[in-house]
Amino acid sequence: MTAKQIYLAGPEVFLPDAREIGARKKMLCEEFGFVGLYPLDNGLAAAPGETADEKIYAANLALMREADAGVFNLSPFRGVNADPGTAFELGFFGALGKPVFAYTNAAAPLFDRVAASHGVHGAPGGDFCDASGLLIENFGNADNLMLDGALKAQGRRIVRPDASSLPGLGDLTGFMACLRQARLHFGF
Amino acid sequence: MTAKQIYLAGPEVFLPDAREIGARKKMLCEEFGFVGLYPLDNGLAAAPGETADEKIYAANLALMREADAGVFNLSPFRGVNADPGTAFELGFFGALGKPVFAYTNAAAPLFDRVAASHGVHGAPGGDFCDASGLLIENFGNADNLMLDGALKAQGRRIVRPDASSLPGLGDLTGFMACLRQARLHFGF
């Protein structure tokens, strides 16, 4: 059997040690019997008339279409929410119906994170809003319900760390939990 | 010809006047010859064993699959980036190959917004990072390159306001520009 290919999505591509983390993720994939597809592995020579960002976009799309599954790092990025590029890619996989696995390195649910950083007030109908009057989703989810929903629709959850732990953006504990889920999913 | 249906994505569902904005968006769609599909129009009675957020997720997915196109409000939400739920939905449309139109109510590109709120420093290779050492994308885009890329791949751009204007999250100037683009796209 050819090894299943897993697309490795997440904002760690913005970390100074992005390539090292990618190499570690790919090595872990191999240990679990998978092949990891990491965005930064793309050759990035832009075609004539194509800008660098368009080239990266096209290369990532090609990797996503090639992958059998995706593992998504939905840790908060520059704020309370997941990186929108990673969210985009989760939606892309959702539409293709491919298996998705996800983790976050934030222990607290979205509601608590927003309340802590943007304030919390009661709103009509038993709802809650932040100090700007924006509704705060209160479903106990790790992030926006569309992100958690993509996992729940496949019978899974976004993997979260223990409340006591404070893993950094590049911590791979949750990533390994996702690989174990993926192995169960693919039946080996 | 049956009117084309447009999915109306954006974080205005979190505004106190979410339903009013939705009604205005749908009315504008009608004026432009479209039918607007707004997430909050979903009947939200949860099926047995289904939680409210799973119900909303499933209903939004059904609307997206039904839609002929999507218009996305990619304005920054609780930080420098677009709402991850909206980004998820843009990725969903991208995977399905449906036409997408997008606007933001932030005039400044992502790079400038991150630099203003998270700091900016030179990094190796001519790159720039924020005060946390996280790389800042520097392509002149409105947001993460995957979001802009989805538009560029279809020959469009994320519509941005004039540098002098400061429209709120619910401002619909960019939305109307997207409807004009959609009318051109569908040839009427």
Domain locations along chain A: 5-106+143-186, 109-141
**Rounded-to-integer distance, Cα A104 and Cα A169, Å:** 9
Pick the CATH number of A5-106+143-186 from 3.30.540.10, 3.40.190.10, 3.40.50.450, 2.30.30.110: 3.40.50.450
Contact check, Cβ <8 Å, A146/B85? yes
The model's pLDDT over B162-185, given as tens digits with 9 standing for 90+, comes to 887 888 888 999 999 999 999 999
Full-model pTM: 0.96
What is the architecture of the domain spanning B5-106+144-185? 3-Layer(aba) Sandwich (3.40)
Contacts of A60 in chain B (CB under 8 A): 146
Q: Interface pTM (ipTM) of the complex?
A: 0.95
% of chain A residues with pLDDT over 70: 96
Could you give the angle at which helices B145-152 and A52-66 cross, rounded to 10 degrees?
90
The model's pLDDT over B18-77, given as tens digits with 9 standing for 90+, comes to 999 999 999 999 999 999 999 988 665 556 677 899 999 999 999 999 999 999 999 999
What's the mean pLDDT in A132-146?
A: 96
The model's pLDDT over A1-28, given as tens digits with 9 standing for 90+, comes to 689 999 999 999 999 999 999 999 999 9
Specify burial of residue A164 (Cβ count, 10 A radius: 0-12, 13-18, 19+): exposed
**Rounded-to-integer distance, Cα B12 and Cα B17, Å:** 8
Contact check, Cβ <8 Å, A15/B78? no
Give the pLDDT confidence score for residue B45 in this predicted structure: 59
State the DSSP code for A155.
Answer: T
Give the pLDDT confidence score for residue A79 in this predicted structure: 96
What's the mean pLDDT in A28-49?
A: 83
Residues forming beta bridges with residue B48, ordered by sequence position = none
Interface of A with B in 159-188 (CB under 8 A): none
Token code pair at residue A33: 């019997």
